[in-house]
Structure 1
Amino acid sequence: MDFHPVYVFFQRDSAGTMWRVLIRRPVLDAIAAGTVTCAFRRWDRPRVRVGGTQRTPVGVLEVTGVDPVDEADLTAEDARAAGFADLEALRRAQRGAGQLYRVGLRLAGPDPRVALREQRRLSRVDRAEIDARLARMDRASAHGPWTAAVLELIAQNPGVRAPDLAARMGRETLPFKRDVRKLKELGLTESLEVGYRLSPRGRAYRRGARG
C-alpha cells in the first residue's frame, strides 16, 4: 500500500472553476527527473488545459497535452511513461466511468517562491511592497487585521501544528491555513513537515518592522 503523502495539482478552467488532480510525491519526483511524462485520468470533460501550470513541491509543472484515449489502445510504453510497472497495472488504476484522458506533464522550472523566500536583505522598495500587500490583506479580511499577528505567532512557534496555532488565535483551522498560504505567496513563510516557520525573507522583514 502506498502511504506517501498526496499533493494536489490545481487548475482553473475558463469558467474559473477549481479542479484537482491528485499526484503522489514519488510521481512528482519522477516528473521532475523526466522519467514520468504523463498521467491518465477519467473525466466527463477535460479538467486541465494545455499550457496550464501549477507550483508543486518539486517545482512548477506544465500541462503539455490533454488527449482522449481508448483504454484498448493503451500500450506498455504508456504504462512506463505514467510510472506504472506494466500495462495491467495502468489498466487497473484507470477502471471507472468517464472518458480516459492522457495528460502530458513536464517540469517547467523551479518554484519562484523558493528564491524569493531565501532573500535575506530587503531594500526599501521590497519592504514598501510587502507593507502594501499585507495592508491590503488586512483590509480585505472579514475577521480584521491578521497578518502581523500570524507572522508573530509563526515566529514564536516554528514547527507547531496548524490546528494548534489556529486555536491559539481562536480561529478555525482551514481559514487560518488559507491565510498562511497568502503569506507563503509573499515568500514570508515556508511549510515544514509539521507546521511552519518564517523564511529568511520573513525574518528580514520582521527585523525591519521591529526596528
Structure 2
Amino acid sequence: MMFAQRLREPVRSGEVTCSVRIWQKPRVKAGGRYPLAPGEIEVTALREIALEDITPALARRSGFLGVVDLLKVAKHGPGDRVFLVEFVYHAPD
C-alpha cells in the first residue's frame, strides 16, 4: 500500500490505523504485509463499505480533516468500490 508523504509518520506512530480506498477490486488482503520504510504494515482487516459509511470520525482516523479531504485522494484507478483497510505498523527488528 502506498501512503502520501504526510501520512507516513502518523502511520508509523500508530496515530493512523486505517485507510479508505476506492478500488475496482481489493489490492491487499487481511494478514498481508506491505513495506512502509523502514518497516512494514500488516493489514488486520479488509471490508467493503458503502460510501455513506465514511464519517468525519473515520476520515480523522484515516489522517484527514474530514470526509471531503479523504475523498479527494481515496480513489485509486477506475474502480468505484469502497474498502476500509485496517492495519498496524511493525518497525524493523
Matched, 1:99 2:84: no
Structure 1's unaligned 5+ residue stretches are: 1-20, 113-211
Retained in 1: the 8 A contact 2:38–2:91? Answer: no
Q: How does 1:12-91 map to 2 (within 5 A)?
A: 21-91=1-71
SS in 1 for 2:71: helix
Matched, 1:108 2:76: no
* Structure with greater proportional strand content: 2
Q: RMSD of aligned C-alpha atoms?
A: 1.8
SS in 1 for 2:58: helix
Letter in 1 for 2:87: L
How far has the Cα of 1:62 moved from its partner? 0.6
Give distance in 2, aligned partners of 1:46 and 1:55: 17
| TM-score, reference length from structure 1 | 0.39
Structure 2's unaligned 5+ residue stretches are: none
How many residues align? The count is 91
How far has the Cα of 1:32 moved from its partner? 1.1
CA deviations on 1:133-161 (whole Å, 9 max, x unpaired) are xxxxxxxxxxxxxxxxxxxxxxxxxxxxx
Give distance in 2, aligned partners of 1:92 and 1:71: 13
CA deviations on 1:39-89 (whole Å, 9 max, x unpaired) are 111222211111111232141211111111111121111111111111221
SS in 2 for 1:78: helix
Q: Which runs of 4+ in 1 moved over 4 A?
A: none
Name which one, 1 or 2, has greater alpha-carbon Rg.
1
How far has the Cα of 1:34 moved from its partner? 1.1
Structure number with higher relative contact order (C-alpha < 8 Å, ≥ 6 residues apart): 2
Letter in 2 for 1:57: A
Give distance in 1, aligned partners of 2:6 and 2:74: 19
Retained in 2: the 8 A contact 1:42–1:100? Answer: yes
SS in 1 for 2:63: coil
* Structure with greater proportional helix content: 1
